[in-house]
Amino acid sequence: MPVKTPFFPRTSALCHSMKWKEWAGYYAVCSYETLHDSEYYAFRNSAGLLDVSPLFKYRVTGPDAAAFLSRIMVRNIEKLAVGRVSYCCWCDDYGKVVDDGTVMRRGEQEFFVTSADPCYSWFSRFLRGYRVELTDISDQVAGLALQGPTSRDILKQICDADLDALKYFATCKARVNRVEIYISRTGYTGDLGYELWVENNHALELWDTIMAAGRNYDIRPAGLDALDVTRVEAGLILKDVDYFNALHALIDDRKSSPYEISLGWTVDLNRTPFNGQAALQMEKEQGSKWAIVGLDINWPELEELYYKRGLPPVLSNHAWRSSIPIYTAKDKRLQAGYATSGTWSPILKKNIALATVQKQYDKIGMKLQFEVTVEHVRHTVSATVCKTQFYNPERKTYTPKRSES
């Protein structure tokens, strides 16, 4: 049975829809109202507040903390400056992704790591020989994601940090009503946003303070349904949907390397040894089999299929997570890959998807065929390969004080 996050007294009182799901053993709100539209538009036009406490959280401290994390991660964490955040993944011995998450450097010898899956046992495999202490603090620290165009203005009302100077993927310590928190300029919406980390006993005070300060900025509590739409628009992959944890995959064909899930840019091969390095070096030289791409699905063609049956086009207002075959443009019997996530994008007015395709079909502008079912009959419509990042507003990375200097 799921357990309650530290914010449950507030989220449960506001969840009029009664739509919940289980996330890493915790109750998580799907949407606060019957439809999640207002929560989606809060993320895109004002600010949405999301409980992210179910993420797994680890503290790594000690003289060898940076070297230890560099041994696990595909990125060189020893290069990460204090006050910066690194998005990265970690692999098994064969270069297949176990999980992805963020690493925040809070001090020369202190790091804060988040992950989607429990990774304490995996990290512990590499402890021998390092002067480090690895602590699972998942049940001690609560998390909130404040995302949207007005998120900076809201936080500036309540905390003592210089948020105008806080760069994208930076982190700092701050105080809210004398309560110490950590703020990172990170998020899963592809927009301007922050994640806030606080000890459990101060969680409700932080929630109340943010909601009160955000009243004049049209803040709304937001659930996972709205988040799922924004993360597809932002081209952000999701474990167990767009890729599988290599340790849990039932067959080898379900395992993926960083290069195959659009995380090749995080791999630093030319450094001290790390797990999976040899396999990744070989793949870099020989080439990958698969790639994740964005798909812009042809809307007029989809409309036409419905109109031929005397029906209006049917699209869910939810993001979908399922495997949908993708075929080559020349031969509709030849499968090029499969889509894993998709949505109708309200802000882009497009039908979009993330898809895994064979490497020869990952060229921007290439035409493919996307399978759809209309009135129990399978059809295909054309789809154009594009970048996975469909939505990328300038404000996401804009730093006011940096621009002034």
What pLDDT, in 10s, does the model give residues 26-69? Answer: 999 999 999 999 999 999 999 999 999 999 999 999 999 999 99
The answer, yes or no, to whether residue 107 has pLDDT greater than 90, is yes
* Cβ within 8 Å of residue 256, ≥6 positions away: 96, 97, 243, 244, 246, 290
Q: What is the pLDDT of residue 402?
A: 67
CATH superfamily of domain region 57-137+257-286: Aminomethyltransferase beta-barrel domains (3.30.70.1400)
Would you state the pLDDT for residue 403?
Answer: 54
User: Average pLDDT, stretch 192-210?
Assistant: 98
CATH 2.40.30.110 domain span(s) along the chain: 238-256+289-404
How far is residue 202 from each of residues 57, 91, 175, 294, 391, measured CA to CA in Å? 17, 35, 12, 41, 34
| Domain 238-256+289-404 falls under CATH 2.40.30.110 | yes
CB crowding 318-351: b at 16 or more within 10 Å, else e? bbbeeebbbbbeeeeeeebbebbbbbbbebeebb
pLDDT of residue 315: 84
Half-sphere exposure at residue 2, Cβ-oriented, CA atoms within 13 angstroms: 14
What average pLDDT score do residues 354-362 get?
A: 98
CA distance 229 to 41: 11
Mean pLDDT of 260-277: 97
From-to residues of CATH 3.30.1360.120 in the chain: 7-55+138-222
- CATH code: domain 7-55+138-222 is 3.30.1360.120
Instruction: Output the pLDDT for position 314.
Output: 84
Residues of the chain with CATH 3.30.70.1400: 57-137+257-286
Local confidence band at 404 (pLDDT 50, 70, 90 cut-offs): low
In the chain, pLDDT over 90 holds for what percent of residues?
96
Average pLDDT over residues 370-390: 97
Quote the pTM value: 0.96
